[in-house]
Amino acid sequence: MLPAEETGENGMQNSVILIVLLLLTALGYHLGRRRALHSVGGTQAIRHLHSLPSYYGLYVVLWAVIPALLVMLLWGLVQDTVLNELIISTLPPEMQSLPPERLGLLINDIHNLAVGNITSEAPSPAIKAAADHLRSLQAVADLARAVVVLAIATAGALFAWRAISPTMRARNRVESILKGLMVASAMVAILTTIGIVLSVLFESLRFFQKVPVTDFLFGLEWSPQIAIRSDQVGASGAFGAIPLLAGTLLISFIALVVAVPIGLMSAIYLAEYASPRLRAWAKPILEVLAGIPTVVYGFFAALTVAPFIRNLGESVGLDVSSESALAAGLVMGIMIIPFVSSLSDDVINAVPQSLRDASYGLGATQSETIRQVILPAALPGIMGGVLLAASRAIGETMIVVMAAGLSANLTINPLEAVTTVTVQIVTLLVGDQEFDSAKTLAAFALGLLLFLITLSLNIVALRIVRRYREQYE
Amino acid sequence: MSSGNSVSPSFEKVQASLARRYARERRFRAMGLGAILLGLSFVAILFITIIGNGYTAFWQTYIRLPVYLDPQVIDPQGTRDPEVIRQASFRKLVRQPLREMFREVKGRRDKRLLYKLLSDDAPHEVQQRVIDDPSLIGRKVELWLLADDEVDMLVKGHIPRETLLEGRKAKLVGWVDRLQAEGRIEKRFNVPFFTRGDSREPEQAGIAGAAAGSFYTLLVTLLLSFPIGVAAAIYLEEFAPKNRLTDLIEVNINNLAAVPSIVFGLLGLAVFINWFGLPRSAPLVGGLVLTLMTLPTIIIAGRAALKSVPPSIREAALGIGASHMQTVTHHVLPLALPGMLTGAIIGMAQALGETAPLLMIGMVAFIVDIPQGPLDPATVLPVQIYLWADSPERAFVERTSAAIMVLLAFLIAMNALAIVLRRRFERRW
């Protein structure tokens, strides 16, 4: 966490650089345009130019901005690391040889001292000197950054400006740069996937070095406490994911039991029976359920539904946990009703009218047509929708964090408290953490598991939906 | 051959089954209608619960007390210097009128309970009043002071009197009754709720900090995801050749749209915080994570908008000699922009309601200060709701619901804006 003063100054310096850069580009645009016009001798001879004059201006602008911004970004990423290295190399040797985590604390102290905050211990002279050194280094680095960035912008603009001549294909060049930017934007999607896979996989591999994969996948016990001292009770944590998976599936199953009948029946009614007016009202209101933030559902589940179910259970003599799987599953079911209903609505509407007409012609009633003709025809699409809803339920976090339990019970009794994969990821990672403890790494292994499960569900669901769509087109 | 008036056996069979079949038809129809009504009633119950729990939070209980602003305590030298006033202790001054009003209260414990009528913040409030208007010094003024959250709950009826009467705070009820009878208790519009940051004391907690955090987070998200999303949509729809790379990108976008949000949080933690070394709890990182999350939404909506622009527009532009890029930027993009904006607003609304990935990157810290920029530690509205929902005090239930109402109001406004945009600018070709 950066102290406020430092970030404030940094932010201001950044905005100053950006404003100067903006002025530079405006100037560059104007000059580039003018040079292009001058090179053919004014507007009357503009037909001798290869491109419109504004393209020459834009060419200069792109050359000024893109390299400068890239350098600025890189500099921002590297500066802290480099400064820390420099500071460490000036420290007395006995401090340099400290173990990494102590050294990190030390560097933290130096940073705090440099911006005038309180430090964890009374600073020694060496630390004070280092802090002064750091302050001066920071000033130099900030100045250097401004100078380098602006110099690169100017150099880029100048380079482009000098290259301007009547035969230069400015439009083609500008267009290919723009196209390159578009390709880069489209690649963000791939990069995100790679980032997810790598970050989760990498930490998971480290986790599997400490805990064997088989223990994780098939272990029946989950208690991720790692002892601080080796002689503590329960010194070895247990990292078996089965109870978490069972809890996740139990809650998702309850959610689907709620959502599928309600969603499917309302989709059928809206598609086949409802008057256009009812449809125009009911459909958007049902879809409101999909737009409500999950944290609101979590609050609703914990505050209203869970106590209600508990009281109901007590009144018929059942012992219901106040964090029962039933409450979380019920509310999650309400949340995914619109997923089921709008997808089912789409596929029911995609069934050709000729099938309905044929069925009516044979004398079937409307409900018989729906049950024996339309539903079988729409079944693959509906299955796809249900699978998507299931993957949504499995990955849902806030409802279960707020309404489900923390202890891993291996049970199928919906009245008991169970925990889920997502709840455990949140509890393991919220708060302070060390990055090499098995506890923290376990969260990433769970994340990998979650990612793989939802990914395969999605792929299967999308494939089913797509294949079905092609059938009638 | 029989004559026409005899009925065939299968016709009879059908006739006999008709009543049953029609009954089944009616039952099926009723089930469908029931499902819709059930769904609608869930929406109604949800909103009624939240509003019913939360509307009272927009009013807060204040107590009117005659406070003597003793110059001996505030400013013995008579300098009227704000710095001197800032140093003075106003706690005694605020407690004095309570002591005078309830002379029968004796004993340390009872007195401490008596002082508990007022919020811890009351002395600061008086202090600020005096700094703003130093001429008040030396006078006895009737001031409305913020009451403690327990008093507030009692006045609003959220804590039943009986439960309090049984507990060790039984005397509180009598005092509050007496103040109420004297007309010294009033519920006024809850300004602090909208102007303050978080607090451990429910009566002082506000949503301004979380709202500012949400604002900066969404700003980063919008600034990154809209240009990137639009550029990606244009590339995929207008330029991309049909090859494996394009297929790969498309598959990736569709799958990312369905990846659980918490996994994006893990990505943010591993990449942005641990690898790039960006600060924890900062709206910048939150914005980056939400950008990756909302990109698929924006790209998919952008492509649909581009697809709806008829090919005749492109052909006309190409026909008069525009380049491919000019066709897109001068003609297709302006026509598709309203649709893209609608998609972006819907994506932003999703991002505003998102909680789980932000928990992963440390935006759950208890932060009192209102963040001033995208690098300050901050939290966001949904996370604030989560934090308050976890707090045991009864008064936080009310605040949580009120914060939810504010969040929902923002979401409804954003979605309404998207609908209006679509209605006004979308052209049917």
User: For residue B5, what pLDDT band results from cuts at 50, 70 and 90?
Assistant: low
My answer on whether B248 and B391 are in the same domain is yes
- The answer to whether A403 and A301 have CB atoms below 8 angstroms apart is yes
Q: Tell me which residue range forms the domain holding B153.
A: 70-188
For residue A117, the model assigns a pLDDT of: 65
Which chain B residue has its CA at the smallest distance from A366's CA?
B25
Nearest to B235 among A11, A186, A294 (CB): A186
Tokens of A360: 């009516």
Reported confidence tier of residue A1, pLDDT bands at 50, 70, 90: very low
Higher per-residue pLDDT: B44 or B79:
B44
Cα separations (Å) of B26 from A61, A260, B71? 70, 21, 83
Structure tokens at A244: 């978490």
More confident residue, B165 or B400: B400
Residues B277, B355 within the same domain = yes
Last residue of a domain, one of B188, B219, B235: B188
- Inspect the interface and report whether the beta carbons of A196 and B259 lie closer than 8 Å: yes
Say whether B232 and A182 touch across the interface (CB within 8 A). yes
Looking at residue B334, what is its pLDDT?
A: 92
> How many domains are there within chain B?
2
Highest mean pLDDT: which of A204-213, A226-235, A247-256, B91-100? A247-256
- Closest Cβ opposite residue B231 in set A185, A365, A397: A185
Among residues 246-265 of chain A, which lie with CB inside 8 Å of chain B? 261-265
User: Which residues on chain B are in Cβ contact (under 8 Å) with A77?
Assistant: 276-277
3-state secondary structure A72-134: HHHHHHHHHHHHHHHHHHHCCHHHHCCCHHHHHHHHHHHHHHHCCCCCCCCCCHHHHHHHHHH
Instruction: Say which of A269, A365, A394 has its CB closest to residue B35.
Output: A269
Residue B298's alpha-carbon distances to A68, B220, B240, in angstroms, are: 28, 15, 18
For chain A, domain boundaries:
4-168, 238-472
Q: Looking at A100-104, A149-153, B46-50, which range is the least confident one?
A: A100-104
ipTM of this predicted structure: 0.90
pLDDT for A231:
52
B124-153 residue pLDDT tens: 888 888 888 888 888 888 888 888 888 888
Residues 2-21 of chain A whose Cβ lies under 8 A from any Cβ of chain B: 2, 4, 7-8, 10-11
Contacts of B359 (CB under 8 A, 6+ apart): A401, A426, A429, A430, B265, B383, B386
- Distance of alpha carbon B232 from alpha carbon B340, whole angstroms: 12
Co-location of B244 and B105 in the same domain: no
CB contact under 8 A, A395 and B263: yes
pLDDT reported for residue B355: 92
Averaged pLDDT, A196-207: 90
Domain shared by B212 and B184, yes or no: no
- The one-character DSSP state at B279 is P
Confidence of residue B257 (pLDDT cuts 50, 70, 90): confident
Q: Please compute the mean of the pLDDT values over residues A196-205 and round it to a whole number.
A: 90
Tokens 């503009």: give the residue: A46
Beta carbons within 10 angstroms of residue A394's beta carbon: 22
Cβ proximity of B289 and B267 under 8 Å: yes
Rg, Å, chain A Cα set: 31
Query: How far is residue A178's CA from residue A174's CA, in Å, rounded to a whole number?
Result: 6
For chain B, the average pLDDT equals 88
Question: Considering the domain boundaries, does residue B305 fall inside one?
Answer: yes
Mean of the pLDDT values across residues A315-333? Answer: 89
> What pLDDT was estimated at residue A6?
44
Contact present, A166 and A40 (Cβ < 8 Å): yes
Cβ contact (<8 Å) for A269 and B36?
A: yes
Interface of B with A in 340-369 (CB under 8 A): 349, 352-356, 359-360, 364
The yes-or-no verdict on residue A2 having pLDDT over 50 is no
What would the DSSP string read from start to end of B359-401?
HHTTTTS---SPP-STTS----HHHHHHHHHH---HHHHHHHH
Residue A197 clears pLDDT 70, i.e. is over it: yes
- The residues, any chain, with a CB within 8 Å of residue A417's CB and separated by 6 or more, are A321, A322, A323, A324, A325, A404, A405, A407, A409
3-state secondary structure at position B307:
helix
CB contact under 8 A, B415 and A291: yes
Condensed to tens digits (0 to 9), the pLDDT of residues A385-442 reads: 899 899 999 999 999 999 988 878 888 888 888 899 999 999 888 866 665 677 888 8
Q: What is the pLDDT of residue A465?
A: 76
* Nearest Cβ partner for B256 among A10, A193, A337: A193
Average pLDDT over residues B51-59: 89
Residue B352 lies in a domain: yes
Instruction: Output the CA–CA distances (angstroms, integers) from residue B277 to A66, A119, B374, in the order listed.
Output: 23, 21, 15
Q: What is the DSSP letter of B135?
A: G
Is residue B284 pLDDT above 80, yes or no? yes
What's the CA gap between B255 and A454, in Å, rounded?
A: 9
Which residue's entry shows tokens 């901005």?
Answer: A65
CA triplet A81, A87, A88: central angle to 5 degrees?
A: 90
Residue A353, pLDDT > 60, answer yes
pLDDT at B260 over 90: yes
Return d(Cα B236, Cα A186) in angstroms, integer. Answer: 7
C-alpha–C-alpha distance, residues A311 and A319, integer Å: 10
Distance of CA A192 to CAs A186, A200, A298, B285, B357, Å? Answer: 11, 12, 28, 15, 15
Digit-coded pLDDT (tens) for B62-97:
998 888 888 888 877 777 777 778 888 888 888 888
- Note the pLDDT tens digit of each residue in A436-460: 677 888 889 999 999 999 999 988 8
C-alpha torsion B194→B196→B197→B200, nearest 10: -110
| A238-472 homologous superfamily | MetI-like (1.10.3720.10)
**CA distance, residue B102 to nearest chain A CA (Å):** 38
**Between B76 and B259, where is the model more confident?**
B259
What's the burial of A257, exposed, middle or buried (CB within 10 Å: 0-12/13-18/19+)? middle
Closest CA to B364 of A381, A95, A432, A305: A432
Instruction: Dump pLDDT digits (tens) for B384-416.
Output: 999 999 888 888 999 999 999 999 999 999 999
A113: tokens are 């001292």
CA-to-CA separations, B149 to B62, B70, B118, B201, in angstroms, rounded = 10, 28, 9, 8
DSSP A351: S
Q: Would B39 be classed as within a structural domain?
A: no
Closest to A440 measured CA to CA, from A105, A248, A206: A206
Same domain, B181 and B241: no
CB contact B55 to A (< 8 Å):
no
Angstrom distance (rounded) from CA A349 to CA A268: 9
| CA B294 distance to own-chain centroid | 18
Q: In Å, how far is B106's CA from the nearest CA of chain A? A: 40
Chain A CB contacts of B22 under 8 Å are 365
Question: Do B178 and B94 touch, CB atoms closer than 8 A?
Answer: no
pLDDT band of residue A254 (cuts 50, 70, 90) is: very high
Chain A: closest CA distance from residue B26 (Å): 9
pLDDT tens-digit map of A268-296: 999 999 999 998 899 889 988 988 999 99
- Residue for token pair 């109901």: A312
When pLDDT is averaged across residues B357-362 and rounded to a whole number, the result is: 90
B145 and B235 in a common domain = no
* CB contact (8 A) between residue A273 and residue B32: yes
Note whether A447 contacts B: Cβ–Cβ < 8 A: yes
Q: What is the Cβ-side half-sphere exposure of residue B239, based on CA atoms within 13 angstroms? A: 23
- Please indicate, yes or no, if residue B269 is contained in any of the structural domains: yes
SS3 A13: helix
Q: Which of B188, B217, B234 is the last residue of a domain?
A: B188
> Are B141 and B248 members of one domain?
no
Q: How many helices (H) and strands (E) does chain B have?
A: 20, 3
Inter-residue contact B256 to B232 (CB < 8 Å): no
B59-68 β-sheet, strand order: B140-146, B59-68, B185-189
Mean pLDDT of B259-284: 89
Query: What six digits make up the tokens of B59?
Result: 């009013």
Same domain, B291 and B325: yes
- Of the ranges A32-46, A88-102, A131-145, which one carries the lowest mean pLDDT score? A88-102
Residue B43 lies in a domain: no
pLDDT at A105: 74
How far off is chain B from A254, nearest CA to CA, in Å?
A: 16
Query: Per-residue confidence at A104, pLDDT binned at 50, 70, 90?
Result: confident
Token digits for A107? 């560097």
- Mean pLDDT over residues B9-30, rounded? 90
Q: What is the pLDDT of residue A119?
A: 60
Length of chain B: 429
* Shortest alpha-carbon distance between residue A316 and chain B (Å): 24
Question: Shortest CB distance from B32 goes to which of A188, A266, A454?
Answer: A266
User: Residue B65 phi/psi, 5° resolution?
Assistant: -130, 145
A240-254, A265-279, A453-467, B281-295 — which is least confidently predicted? A453-467
Residues in chain A: 473
CB A72 within 8 A of CB A151: no
pLDDT score recorded for residue B161: 78
pLDDT of residue A3: 40
The confidence score (pLDDT) of residue A133 equals 83
Cβ within 8 Å, pair A262-B35: yes
Q: Which of A402, A443, A252 is nearest to B263 (CA)?
A: A443
User: Tokens at residue B73, please?
Assistant: 């305590």
Answer whether A199 sits within 8 Å of B270, measured CB to CB: yes
Chain mean pLDDT for chain A: 85
- Which CATH number is B213's domain given? 1.10.3720.10
**What's the confidence (pLDDT) of residue A407?**
79
